[in-house]
Amino acid sequence: MTHFDELARQTIELPSWAFGNSGTRFKVFAQQGVPRNPYEKIADAAQVHRYTGVAPRVSLHIPWDLVDDYDDLAAHAAGLGVSIGAINSNVFQDDDYMLGSLTHPSADVRKKAVAHHLQCIDVMRATGSTDLKLWLPDGLNYPGQDSIRARQDRLADSLQEIYAALDPQHRLILEYKFFEPAFYSMDIPDWGTALLHCLALGDRAMVVLDTGHHAPGTNIEFIVAQLLRAGRLGAFDFNSRFYADDDLMVGAADPFQLFRIMHEIVQSGALAPTSGVNFMLDQCHNIEPKIPGQIRSVMNVQEATAKALLVDADALVEAQTAGDVLGAHGVVMDAYNTDVRPLLAQLRESQGLDPDPIAAYKASGYAEKIVAERVGGAQAGWGA
């Protein structure tokens, strides 16, 4: 398979919440023409796929994307050439979860949180989604607030109940985050904790790596290599991290880090759709237009991937085996420093797409059309 073919079959999943209004704790800036409901979010996501050709799935967030009829929503997506990707649960916007959800000291609250996940599994059945994605806000703000160890036991039991409810084609994908909203100790702060819980659950439990969820200076590609080695890298939540969990456009803060991550993916043969790694975006576009922001992000992932595919694997192994430190480093840097934009333009043309997706989107008139048609768009969920 040529590099061209490998690039052509890479897919990137878009988050529904990227298309709604979003902001920070200080201000949500409303943009004109944003979707008023999940149907319109999917329509906007389909635009990103239309111009990039590599974004055929949309993750949903429950209850932000609550509808009466999920079969109908899935049919709407199919009609626009996309499908429903991961179903994200939400146990962070209910007063009952102030002290935690799956780890809460009260059995009743844990039961409620488990029941929410069972509802999400029903949504998966209706939409054909295969990934149930869990990110928990659970954790402690103060030493002594609760037992760190008891919370791990409760977490294991709650996860077991959810895992047992999955259908055979479903996966549970578990995200970690080192801080926020809890600041002393999150209950799943790191990849090691997520991995231990996944190993206890079974083969269909996998770790989600959000690139914004690490301490400054963390070597993320090391974690990628480690999880791939264990066969438990289920998905990425791609975004950029300047200072914390910024959720800004992937590849903006540190394109070299993104390349290093994709280099590990390519080296392990994990780019293939059959590898089980779901390349998702987890982003918000607070001040830039959302559809072009998603197109830019998809292109950034593609560029990092194309560069990673350009690494001369034979020359690299030869230099590494010979102990040629600078030679091996040079092979990697040669690939990184190659301008792959002409290659990607060629790829798009070979697929009948415009070589410049952002220009093509702008010329389409879609942005003006949604501003005229949609009044009173919805927030992404944050701050709602």
Q: How many whole angstroms separate alpha carbon 231 and alpha carbon 207?
A: 10
Look at residue 65 and give the partner it binds from Zn ion, ligand AOS, none, a contact being a CB closer than 5 to 8 Å depending on partner kind: none
Q: Quick one: 19 or 135, whose CB is closer to ligand AOS?
A: 135
The one of Zn ion, ligand AOS, none whose footprint includes residue 17, by CB under 5 to 8 A per kind, is ligand AOS
Q: What's the DSSP call for residue 273?
A: G
* CB closer to ligand AOS, 151 vs 214: 214
Neighbours of 182 (CB within 10 A): 20
Nearer to ligand AOS, 91 or 295 (CB): 91
**Terminal CA-CA length for the chain:** 47
Q: How far is the CB of 88 from ligand AOS (least distance, A)?
A: 5
3-state secondary structure of 235: strand
Rounded to whole angstroms, how far apart are CA atoms 373 and 341?
35
**Shortest-Cβ-distance residue relative to ligand AOS:** 135
Task: Identify whether the C-beta of residue 159 lies closer than 8 Å to the C-beta of residue 201.
Answer: yes
Tell me the C-alpha distance between 160 and 153, whole Å.
11
Q: How far is the CB of 134 from ligand AOS (least distance, A)?
A: 9
Q: How far is the CB of 356 from ligand AOS (least distance, A)?
A: 29
Cα 191-195-196 angle, rounded to 5 deg: 120
Closest CB to Zn ion belongs to which residue? 237
Q: Least distance (Å) from ligand AOS to the CB of residue 210? A: 5
For the chain, how are helix, strand and coil distributed in percent, rounded to 5? 45, 15, 40
Between CA 97 and CA 104 the distance in angstroms is 7
Which residue's CB is nearer to ligand AOS, number 221 or number 245? 245
Q: Which residue from 13, 187, 282, 354 is in contact with Zn ion, where contact means CB under 5 A?
A: 282
Is position 245 an interface residue for Zn ion (rule: CB under 5 A)? Answer: yes
- Supply the minimum distance, in Å, between the C-beta of residue 211 and Zn ion: 9
Partner whose footprint covers residue 176, from ligand AOS, Zn ion, none (CB < 5 to 8 Å by kind)? none
Output the smallest distance, CB 92 to ligand AOS, in A.
8
- Closer residue to ligand AOS, CB minimum distance, 177 or 290: 177
User: Which spans of this chain sit near ligand AOS (rule: CB under 6 A)?
Assistant: 17, 61, 88, 135, 175, 177, 210, 237, 245, 282
- Find the shortest distance in angstroms from Cβ 220 to Zn ion: 14
Query: Coil, strand or helix: which one is 65?
Result: coil
Closest separation in Å from C-beta 209 to ligand AOS: 11
Structure tokens at 299: 């292109």
Query: Given candidates 146, 187, 237, 354, which one binds Zn ion under the rule CB under 5 A?
Result: 237
221 touches, from ligand AOS, Zn ion, none (C-beta below 5 to 8 Å by class): none
DSSP string, 359-371: HHHHHHTHHHHHH
Residue with tokens 């950029």: 240
What three-state secondary structure class fits 328? helix
40 binds, among Zn ion, ligand AOS, none (CB under 5 to 8 A by kind): none
For residue 191, give both structure tokens: 């990849």
* C-beta of 146 vs 210, nearer to ligand AOS: 210
Q: How far apart are CA 60 and CA 42, in angstroms?
A: 9
Angle among Cα 197, 236, 377 to the nearest 5 degrees reads 115
Scanning 78-86, 150-158, 243-251, 314-322 for contacts with Zn ion by CB under 5 A, the matching segment is 243-251
State how far the Cα of 294 lies from the Cα of 90, in Å rounded to an integer.
23
CB of 33 or CB of 293, closer to Zn ion:
293
Q: What residues line the site for Zn ion (CB under 5 A)?
A: 210, 237, 245, 282
